[in-house]
Each structure stands twice: as C-alpha cells, then as structure tokens.
Structure 1
C-alpha cells in the first residue's frame, strides 16, 4: 500500500501541471544521471558475452559435446585440464528501459531527498548513457524505439519531457525475443497482478531485470499516533488511531512481497534488486551492470 502524502493527481489540469513539472525536471535529471555515470564508468567493462566474433574473451574448461576445434591446445598444455577459447559476441543487443510513471512513484518522505520517480528516471538515463557507450541498442517502450547512438540518454530525456507514458506496466507490443528489459518501479500494485504481468513478458523469451525502488518510510514505517494514509492511485484514505500498532504487520507484508518477487524472478531466470531512495544511485547501477553482463550472481540478487 502506498504510504504518506504523495500528490494525488485526479483532474486533467493537475495532470497537465505535473507533465510540465516533469519536463522542467528532465534536464536536471539528465545532468544527475551523467554525474552518477562518471562515478562508476571507470569500473565498467562493457557487456561481454560469448559468441561469434574476432576478439578473445576468456578461457573456460572443455565440456563433453563441445567442438574440439575450439580447444586452445597451448593453454591446455600448461596443466592437466583442457580449455576452450571463447570469443566475444560483437552484435548489438537490444535493451529496453522503463520507469514506472504511476502516482505512487512521486512519494518522498523526510527521510529521503528524492522521489522514487526521480531516482528511477536518473537510473534509466544513466543506464542509457553507459549501455550506448558499449554499442547496445537502447529503447523505451511506448516512447523511443531501439536506437544505437551515443546520445541515447539525451533522446530518451527529450522524449520523456514531451510525452508522459501511460501508468501501468510497460507496453509489450514492440518487445522482441532475446532482448532484455529493465523495469524500475515500487511494485505496489497487488502482487498477483505484478507477477502476472512479469510472466506475460517472460513467456515471450525476454530476459528481465526488476528494480524495486522504495522510500525509506515505506520500509521502516516510522509513523506513530493518529495518522491518515492516502492511496495516491485511488484516493482512498485510512485513519489509524495508533499507527505504530500496524508497524509489525506492515513490515511483515513488505518483506513477504519482496521475497515473493525475488523468488518469482529467480524461477524465470530474471534478476531482482531492491533499492531505497536514501541510498546512492550508483549502487544500483553497479548491481545492474552485473545482471546485464550475465554475472553468475544474477538471478534474485538483492541490494
């Protein structure tokens, strides 16, 4: 359940105001994204994958059934093992990036300096910046078709400044098999709906990476005394006479939600990262790098 005093945009005029605010923020978010990239780019080594190419990638132990012609006899002669010589896959890969635009993402408590929406957009732009440097094709469902260009982050920022995506999960009509998608959201919709939408994308042969972004107040539940909670999605209100009495049950439900999503992603071969907006954006960027690079620690990883 979304918590706190997030702005509830219900009228078309309020939506227009919010759209203008978003457009005004986009240049600052792009600058912030480039700053985050600058802090991690020194350790970024691209998205190497085994495949057809000319450049050497790695040696790995020979497995029965693989082509004998790929054995590197010089390397194998150094010890008692037989090694294959892998080359790096050189074809551009398509990576879709999507940040949840739902009203609940605009919530920010006193314990954080940025909203969930701002953090998600900064991460999208930072990923677009880094992946485009690696030669990948970057797209934003419903907003920008996949493009291989060094200015991919600027293109996405410009498109988002003039067009607000629809609420809900990313449209999947353009997603193709063997591509990847990074979805950044608070995932506060009913868990059954979230997992159903994830399955719909996964069944199409797409590998996904979920980043669950929460405000620290949504995790620790710091509220005490008489407190009114309002759902920014529906406008429904709940008044608690002693909010602290709800804390244990609330934390238990949030933990169960996170574990259910992580387990579901693990079964799909997807990755899952939990992130709080009072933490550094660079931490998520580094973790995502491991997932997108096919790190062995991939599926179900948490932060």
Structure 2
C-alpha cells in the first residue's frame, strides 16, 4: 500500500453517503473559494503572457532568428541595442481543473481543520472564479465542458453535486494539445502509476500543474504506541506496536517519493506545488495562478495557520 495513505481511519462510508456529504458541503466550499479569491484578487488582471494581442507588453532584446518585422526601431535608436516589441497574449485558452476524488482525500487529522478533499475543491473553485473573471475557458473533465462565463465556478460546483468521476486522474479523451491542466491530488497511488499517468498526459502536449496536497500528519507522522493504520482505498490494515519507531524511516521514504514525482514533473516542463491543509489555501492559489501565468517555478510559501 502507498506510503502515507495508511493512517488511522474509520471504515469508509459508501458511495451514496459520500455523495450526500459532498452535496451538503459544496455550497460552503463555493463560499469559501470566493472568500479566498477576495483576499488575493486585488491587482490581478488575468494572465499576461507574450503573444499575438494588440496591447503592448514589454520591450526585450532582439535574438538572432526572430522576425525583423517585430523590431521596434524607435526604441532601438535610443542606444546600441536592438529591441523587439512584445504584445500581450489575449486569446482565451482552455484550462482544465481537477480535484482528486479518491477516498484517501477525505482524511483529516487533528492537526488540520479541513480534509484534503475540501481543500482541493476550494482551490479548484477559487481558480475557476479567478480565471473566469479574466475571460478564460474553464472545464472539468468528464463533468463540465469548457465554458467562458463569469459564473463558471458556480456551474462547476453545481455539476459536481451529481456527477464526479472516481479516478484520481482526469479522463484525457477531451484534453487537447496546448491546453492546460491543474490537478490537485494527494498522489498516494503507487508512485509508478502516478508517474505513468503524468507521462500519458505530457505526451499529449498538455501543460500540467500539480498541486500535491497533504495532511500535516502525513508529513510529520505524529503517531506513537500501538496504532492501527487503515488504507481507505482497500481497507487493508497494518498494526504497529511502537509506531514512533517508524517515524524516521517513514519521513525519508515520504520525502523521497514526493521529490521523485516533483523531479519528473520538472523534466516534463510541468509545475509542482506542495501544499499542506494546515496552511492557507490562498498560498496554493497564488502559486498555481503564477505558474499558469508563466512565472518561474517556486515552491508555495509556507505560513502555518488555519485555512484561509
């Protein structure tokens, strides 16, 4: 069973009960997503990238092989360098969003105030809210086809009440080359399967952004004494007589596993953002929005505190 997925959980409720719980939570999650957006939206004006729009973006040095027609001769005449005039990219693009629906995402330890599933949905809905305000086309694979509407977050939330796939990774039959995909997941499937699924999407020319979400207990392993660990996916159990003796080895394996996935994402040109549920949701939102905007990759800042 995957390291990190076997924490002390009660037996998983059936699918109908899970659907009812999600339906009850979804309106609150949408409100929370909008609250998070309101804390970070000031000063944001959509995703500004070099492209074929009409608005001036920046001057930059001419590089051999680029079109001479884009040289700005007036700016170049000011000194000894040749400059190109870049325009801002303005065409609406499709951004697919995905929150892992796996049973392991329902875990919440005493060190966190929200489950991984709740946090993942808040991040996804907040992204939908921000991107739709910028005129982007937003979709949720297998649930909502790409739409360009100010109420995209509300429509996605409504659709998820009655229709949500079970696979931890999105179906890729609708994902096309050059589209972007944001996946929020704990990635607790076997690491070879995780890497294979990322490769499958990468080979299709999709630009991906992974937010690996974790509960603080999954990183810190606070257990001690006789502890029974239950895999929420399979029901398999493991009983440790002195759980604290596993802490150091567990931490080593957990970190190595996460770094292996992160390095694989970097090789594909995908971004990778770790996020813990005891940190602010706005941290992950800012980080993934930055990656969507083409900012250099960086790990999201970590400030301890309750969800916000």
TM-score bin, normalised by smaller chain: over 0.9
| 1:158-183 deviations in Å (ceiling 9; x for gaps) | 00011222233110000001000000
In 1: Cα distance, 2:44 partner to 2:197 partner: 31
> Secondary structure, in 3 states, of the residue corresponding to 2:239?
strand
Could you tell me which residue of structure 2 aligns to residue 48 of structure 1?
A: 48
1:239 aligns with 2:235: no
TM-score by length of 2: 0.94
- SS of corresponding position for 1:168: coil
Describe how 1:154-193 pairs up with structure 2 within 5 A: 154-193=154-193
Cα displacement (A) at 1:78: 2.8
Aligned residue number for residue 113 of structure 1: 113
| Compared CA separation, residues 6 and 152, structure 1 to 2 (3 A) | farther
Question: CA shift at 1:256, angstroms?
Answer: 0.4
Alpha-carbon distance, 1:57 to partner: 1.2
SS at match of 2:98: strand
Distance 1:49 1:284 in 2: 21
Cα distance in 2 for partners of 1:17, 1:66 equals 58
Contact 2:186–2:214 at 8 Å: present in 1 too?
yes
TM-score normalized with structure 1 length: 0.95
Count of matched residue pairs:
298
Q: Deviations over 1:10-29 (max 9, x none)?
A: 6xxx2101101101100000
Gaps of 5+ in 2: 302-308
The yes-or-no answer on 1:99 pairing with 2:99 is yes
TM superposition shift of 1:140: 0.3
1:24-46 alpha-carbon deviations (Å, 9 max, x no partner): 10000000000000000014231
* Coordinate RMSD, CA, aligned: 1.3
Q: Is the contact made by 1:272 and 1:302 (CA closer than 8 Å) also made in structure 2? A: no
Which residue matches 2:305?
A: none
Q: Distance in 1 between matches of 2:160 and 2:169?
A: 16
Question: Could you tell me how far apart the structure 1 residues matched to 2:278 and 2:9 are?
Answer: 17
Moved more, 65-74 or 114-123: 65-74
Deviations 1:67-90 (A, max 9, x none): 112111222233322110011122
Hey, what does 1:89 align to over in structure 2?
A: 89
Alpha-carbon distance between aligned partners in 1 of 2:233 and 2:17, rounded to the nearest angstrom: 17
Tell me, in whole angstroms, the C-alpha distance in 1 between the residues paired with 2:255 and 2:21. 33
Higher mean C-alpha displacement, 152-161 vs 63-72: 63-72
1:215 aligns with 2:195: no
2:194 partner SS: helix
TM-fit CA distance, 1:302: 5.4
Q: Is the 8 A contact 2:8 2:227 kept in 1?
A: no
Q: Is the 8 A contact 1:181 1:209 kept in 2?
A: yes
Aligned partner of 2:304 in structure 1 is none
User: Does the 8 Å contact 1:8/1:233 carry over to 2?
Assistant: no
**C-alpha separation between the residues in 1 aligned to 2:24 and 2:18?**
10
Q: Report the equivalent of 2:7.
A: 4
The alignment partner of 2:51 has SS state of coil
Are the aligned partners of 2:9 and 2:229 in contact in 1 as well (CA < 8 Å)? Answer: no
Check the 8 A contact 1:101/1:167 in 2, yes or no.
Answer: yes
Unaligned residue ranges in structure 1 (runs of 5+): none
